[in-house]
Amino acid sequence: MNKYLSLFVLIILFSCSEYKGDKNSLDYDIVKITFKGYKDYKTNGKLKLQVTDSSVVKKLNNLKNDSKIKWFSNLKATEYYLRLVYINSKTGERLLITISKDDFSPTIQYGPGTIFDGKYKNNKFVNYVTKLIKLDSIKKYKGRLSQKEYRKFFKEKI
C-alpha cells in the first residue's frame, strides 16, 4: 500500500508544476532570465532580464534544442545559477530551463528539477546566454552590481 501511495504522491507533485512546456517547441516569444552569482560572479541580489526581441528569442529557442546528455553533472552551482523561463504569450505555456555553473562546466536542466529531469550540456546555448546577459561585465562589479545598475547595461530593449 505504501508504494502505491508514494507513486501517487510523485505523480501529483510532478503534474502540479507550472512549467509544462515542450522543450522542442519554437513557439515561445518571451524569455525571462534570472541570474544569481557566487564567488567572482556575486551580485547585490538577483539580476533579472526579460527578452522580447523576436530575433533573440528565436535564437534562444533554436539553441535550447541542441543539448546533449551530460553523464557527469555538477550537483550544485558554485559560480552562477541562471533560470530561464520561456513563455508562449498566446497559450500561457511555460518552460523552465536552469543553467548551473560549477568550477568546471555548466549543466543545463529542463523542467522544475525533479528526479525525472535529466542533466544536459550545450556550450553554444550557454555561451549565447552568458553573452546576452553580459556575464563578463557582471564579474567586473565584484559583488556591487544591483538590478538598477544592471538595467543600464541595456540601452535597447532585448
The per-residue pLDDT for range 107-145, each reduced to its tens digit, is 999 887 655 567 889 999 999 999 999 999 999 998 899
The mean per-residue pLDDT over the stretch 82-105 comes to 92
Residue 33, domain member (yes or no): yes
Residue 42, domain member (yes or no): yes
Tens digit of pLDDT for each residue in 42-60? 999 999 999 999 999 999 9
Sign of CA dihedral 64, 54, 37, 47: negative
Residue 99, domain member (yes or no): yes
Residue 68, domain member (yes or no): yes
Domain interval for residue 36: 2-151
The mean per-residue pLDDT over the stretch 17-43 comes to 86
Question: Domains in the chain: how many in total?
Answer: 1
Residue 158, domain member (yes or no): no
Contact 34, 51 (CB under 8 A): no
Residue 157, domain member (yes or no): no
Could you give the CA distance from residue 50 to residue 140 in angstroms, rounded to a whole number? Answer: 22
Residue 76, domain member (yes or no): yes
Q: For residues 103 and 95, which has the higher predicted lDDT (pLDDT)? A: 95
Q: Considering the entire predicted model, what is its pTM?
A: 0.83
CATH number for the domain including 139?
Answer: 3.30.1490
Could you give the CA distance from residue 18 to residue 3 in angstroms, rounded to a whole number? Answer: 26
Residue 63, domain member (yes or no): yes
B/e letters for 109-127, b = 16+ CB within 10 Å, e = fewer, are bbbbeeeebebbbbeebbe
